[in-house]
Chains A and B, each alone.
Chain A
Amino acid sequence: MRDFIIPDDAYVPASTADMGTPPSRATTTVTLTVDGMPVTVPSGTSVMRAAAEAGIAIPKLCATDSMAAIGSCRLCLVEVEGMRGTPASCTTPVAEGMVVHTESELIRKLRRGVMELYVSDHPRDLLTSPANGLDEVQDMAAAVGLREVRYTPGENHVAPCMANGEANPRFREPDRSNPYFTYDPALCIVCMRCVRACDEIQGTFALTVQGRGFESRIVAGQDQPFLNSDCVSCGACVQACPTGSLLENSVAEIGVPERTVITTCAYCGVGCNFEAQMRGDQVVRMVPWKHGKANHGHSCVKGRFAWGYANHGERILSPMVREKITDPWRETTWEEAITFAADRLKAIQQEHGIDSVGVITSSRCTNEETYLVQKLARAVLRTNNTDTCARVCHSPTGYGLKTTFGTSAGTHDFDSVDFCDVALVIGANPTDAHPVFASRLRKRLREGAKLIVVDPRRIDLLETPHLGEAHHLSIKPGTNVAVLTAMAHVIVTEGLVSTEFIRERCDWDEYLDYAEFLSDPRHSPEATEAATGVPPEALRAAARLYATGGNGAIYYGLGVTEHAQGSTAVMAIANLAMLTGNIGKPGTGVNPLRGQNNVQGSCDMGSFPHELPGYRHITDPVARDIYERAWGVPVPEEPGLRIPNMFDAAVAGAFRGLYCQGEDILQSDPDSSHVAAALSAMDCVIVQDLFLNETATYAHVFLPGSTFLEKDGTFTNAERRINPVRKVMAPKNGYGDWEITQLLANALGAGWSYTHPSQIMDEIAATTPSFAGVSFDLLDAVGSVQWPCNEDAPLGTPMMHGTGFVRGKGKFVHTEYVASDERTGPRFPLLLTTGRILSQYNVGAQTRRTANTVWHDEDLLEIHPHDAEERGIRSGDWVRLASRAGATTLRALVTARVAPGVVYTTFHHPTTQANVVTTDSSDWATNCPEYKVTAVQVMPSNGPSEWQEDYAERAEASRRVLPLEAAE
């Protein structure tokens, strides 16, 4: 926090201009003249970009500033004094004293000749084409002053029929296989922008140019429909296409957008900035913002395309109540619903005590909304019974990194990946769960960085095209600590530690103590192999590479945290970074990849029952005093119930009222039967959500929530970046979520009077030192900031622990491997681990209500061929998946991606309910559930499990709604 690096790509809100070629990173500058104007630019800049800097737009078709120039379209020709011919300005670097002319009689003639050829094989009449207004061929024809086309109609790719009336063999019907965009080959000019975007930006290499010369055309995969190819529908090609040949279907349906609002994606923890391109109050398309500091103009299929759930027919727009969960829902007014909820909470507290109620804040809502929900618990309900779904994903990150480094957050920004030499990816699947980060990492891997993956499953990152050296440590689920400690053993015993770093930044005696612990032969890879399943030589090679391969960056996910030893594994990771000095400089660090958009923020905002905003412990009288003065009420000093504790207390009858905002605990939390029993035991469950989610099956009050398009606020991504969320349309349900919480608080006597989320952020800034400098005005001015943002770091802190750890000296915590209680035996001989898939998000409430279901319409159980054969299971068969907690059925996918003895599934679909099977085993420090390890048995099946049948019946009964009129 003491040193920070001011981001180099300065924010220019108005600048959406395409500069033609990417910026140069050089620090030396060159001065040239363009059309008589002197321009100074970094050396290595193209002539095209230098001209753009001077305000001169050189005509172009194949060049764009998001990818390297190839000089193919020959439209950007210029004259340079002293140079022969007419070089392409996109591929010509500037030189000192260069004199450039962008217009001359010769250049005009050449450009018209080029345009004439393009236009000869391009549709002339776009009046009723979806590409009308977007086709740069038209713009360039105008720019170069093309007035006539001398070529008579002949062979072309444009017309369905030839002059003689026969079908044109070169013409191809548009490819409409992708649900979100259409490829119309007639409009294509083969500029290769799409191919380069797929290769350079996304890294999938799904597109190519087939044929040569006049026969060349863009194809997906082996000339397949887009949907059947390797295409992951990230949309980079659509964004790159200059002609509208690749175009969003929404543009065809609605028309060309007329205004743009910069906002932030509401899916994963990468936190991509988007331009919401609007027509009236209708979103036409979401285009990743080129100045977005997490995504730099890239996105994935979810963020770019899967926002249609906001208008889905199943969205609930009217508040609803019911006396009992067996009653049908009754639509009602906001006033009645809020009064109903408040009265019930008050009655419960009167009868059963202050601590008989609690709240769950949402990692999908904004910081401001989360702050208000925990404030509602602490200041209005007067209890610390507040928790957030971060409990069930990254709470061990908070505990582990705070203990070792002193701060509960990742250390680096995503830009740092450009400087890493070795990426150690542990328990994360970035290509599916954090796709934009994965693309940035893949770019670095193509540049030669080396990869180490620690995962029970062979993740797609290992299939990166042009991947160089890569190691896969395929571990048995639940043995992370043994593997990480064994890596540290190798580093210490082979003398690969960075003694200089440790002497300066850590406690030397503590290190010696830890080194002695590590050196014990029981931690050697040879000794741990029996438990971990990792061959010792593979582990040694990986450890050596991480320690000696240059800048080593660790990226980890829920495969680390969601274990009985999750917190210990996080500390083992921190230890590895400190032992090797891989922290405090670009390209290194310990970087948790957060699952949901605002997991970091919901933790920052004091959602946990033991912490006030800014991670200040609830027993800290100084911190409590700040809030007691701000809120004017005493703040309770005892830690409250965590989510699993709430369920246990509910089953025991002590916890009876819950306000749950934007989280589907029934589907997402482990041991669904236990969660259902807990929810059924409560007197009042208030669910605030977009849809009647699974939790709402057990709710008494349903408060319709708003989407990220309908409110102002901020999300904080995995790199601590506070990103603005901006309202682009009025909330269809009538209120932003922060307003609903305020209504409920005021019905409970709070007397709040916020009129805009910026006021809530002002309160956060005034009370939380790490947010002291944050305001909506600052975000409007600079785009986004990374906390800590305060007097010492007015523009935020991209990299933490630069010269010293927040806690002072880095702390080596001993990391003894303890086998999980959740282990295989004769009844449950396999280990189940869970994860995500690219096209779906979390419980699927949003993505299942979009066309993303074409890629994944059910959860499948991945099982190794050996285990499948033993059980007589083939791909596509229905199988029963059972654990000590429960059983479900789903279809099998036989694949060697999982190791023998391991099965894997996703949890996106409520009909599968993978969490019926997961158990109550949890992390020792934080109660984060051990989702990643469940002992199971798999057997062929021909029907749904008992739970699935009962649940389907109950869910259907529970979703009956009596409309408002009928209730009167």
Chain B
Amino acid sequence: MSGGDAKLVRMANQIATFFETQPGIDPAAATAAHLNDFWPPPMRARLLEMIAEGGTGLRPAAAGAAPLIRRPGEAPVHAVPVDPGVPPVRAGEEAAPANPAFQSEGGSDG
């Protein structure tokens, strides 16, 4: 495995390791959401290739994230929900975290 690939595996595993410790969520889905939010398309594409080639060295949550990882060029998998009635400049100053694993049940009133 090349140095770059090994680094991708290590980083994906770090992310998977974190989400595997969180209660009440699907670690693979959360890992995919994190990768979609933070990894640029070429890194996601290479990771998907490696998973397709067998995913050597990847933790289950990282390998299992594949179906939910956004393929470059595809529509966003986890777009932030947008209410069409909300004006473009919202009252709160920040969008909710994009990863659904962290969206609170009660909804944000910020």
Contact with A along B77-110 (1 / 0, CB 8 A): 0111010001011111111111000101111111
With CB as the reference atom, state the residue of chain A lying closest to B36: A619
- Best-surrounded residue of B22, B39, B105 (most CB of chain A within 10 A): B39
Listed from nearest, the 3 A-B pairs whose CB atoms lie closest are A770-B93, A924-B14, A816-B21
Instruction: Say yes or no for B57: interface residue by CB 8 A criterion.
Output: no
Chain A residues contacting B38 (CB-CB under 8 Å) are 610, 639, 642, 925-926
Q: CB distance B34 to A616 under 8 Å?
A: no
Complex CA–CA separation, A805 to B102 (angstroms) = 14
B10 → chain A closest CB, angstroms:
7
Chain B residues contacting A816 (CB-CB under 8 Å) are 18, 21
Residues of chain B having any CB pair with chain A under 8 Å: 4, 7, 10-11, 14-15, 17-18, 21-24, 34, 36-43, 72, 76, 78-80, 82, 86, 88-98, 102, 104-110
A774 → chain B closest CB, angstroms:
12
Contact with B along A810-840 (1 / 0, CB 8 A): 0101101010010000000000000000000
- The interface stretch among A471-479, A541-549, A647-655, A705-713 is A647-655
Complex CA–CA separation, A767 to B89 (angstroms) = 7
Chain B residues contacting A818 (CB-CB under 8 Å) are 17-18, 21
With CB as the reference atom, state the residue of chain A lying closest to B107: A808
Residues of chain A having any CB pair with chain B under 8 Å: 1, 355, 384-385, 402-403, 406-408, 507, 513, 517, 564, 568, 609-610, 614-617, 619-623, 625-626, 629, 637-642, 645, 648-649, 651-652, 654, 767-770, 772, 787-788, 790, 804-809, 811, 813-814, 816, 818, 821, 920, 922, 924-927
Q: CB distance A641 to B79 under 8 Å?
A: no
With CB as the reference atom, state the residue of chain B lying closest to A625: B88
B19 → chain A closest CB, angstroms:
10
Q: CB distance B79 to A811 under 8 Å?
A: no
**Which of B21, B36, B102 has a CB less than 8 Å from the CB of A403?**
B102
Q: CB distance A610 to B37 under 8 Å?
A: yes
Chain B residues contacting A517 (CB-CB under 8 Å) are 23
With CB as the reference atom, state the residue of chain A lying closest to B46: A652
**Which of B39, B90, B109 has a CB less than 8 Å from the CB of A622?**
B90
Complex CA–CA separation, A384 to B10 (angstroms) = 24
Chain A residues contacting B82 (CB-CB under 8 Å) are 620-622
- Best-surrounded residue of A648, A807, A811, A816 (most CB of chain B within 10 A): A807
With CB as the reference atom, state the residue of chain B lying closest to A920: B7
Q: CB distance A614 to B94 under 8 Å?
A: yes
Contact flag A639-B40 (CB < 8 Å), given A616-B95, A617-B80, A619-B79: yes
Q: CB distance B40 to A564 under 8 Å?
A: no
**Which of B39, B108, B109 has a CB less than 8 Å from the CB of A639?**
B39
* Known interface pairs A639-B38, A649-B42; 19 further A-B residue pairs with C-beta atoms within 8 A, sorted by A's residue number: A355-B41, A406-B96, A406-B110, A513-B24, A517-B23, A615-B93, A619-B36, A622-B95, A629-B88, A639-B37, A639-B39, A654-B42, A769-B91, A807-B104, A811-B102, A818-B18, A818-B21, A925-B15, A925-B38
Chain B residues contacting A625 (CB-CB under 8 Å) are 88
Q: CB distance B40 to A638 under 8 Å?
A: yes
Chain A residues contacting B80 (CB-CB under 8 Å) are 617, 619-622
With CB as the reference atom, state the residue of chain B lying closest to A644: B7
A522 → chain B closest CB, angstroms:
12
**Which of A639, A772, A814, A926 has a CB less than 8 Å from the CB of B23?**
A814
With CB as the reference atom, state the residue of chain A lying closest to B37: A610
A617 → chain B closest CB, angstroms:
5
Chain A residues contacting B89 (CB-CB under 8 Å) are 626, 767, 769, 772
Complex CA–CA separation, A925 to B82 (angstroms) = 25
A644 → chain B closest CB, angstroms:
9
Contact flag A640-B110 (CB < 8 Å), given A615-B94, A808-B104: no
Complex CA–CA separation, A920 to B7 (angstroms) = 9
A380 → chain B closest CB, angstroms:
19
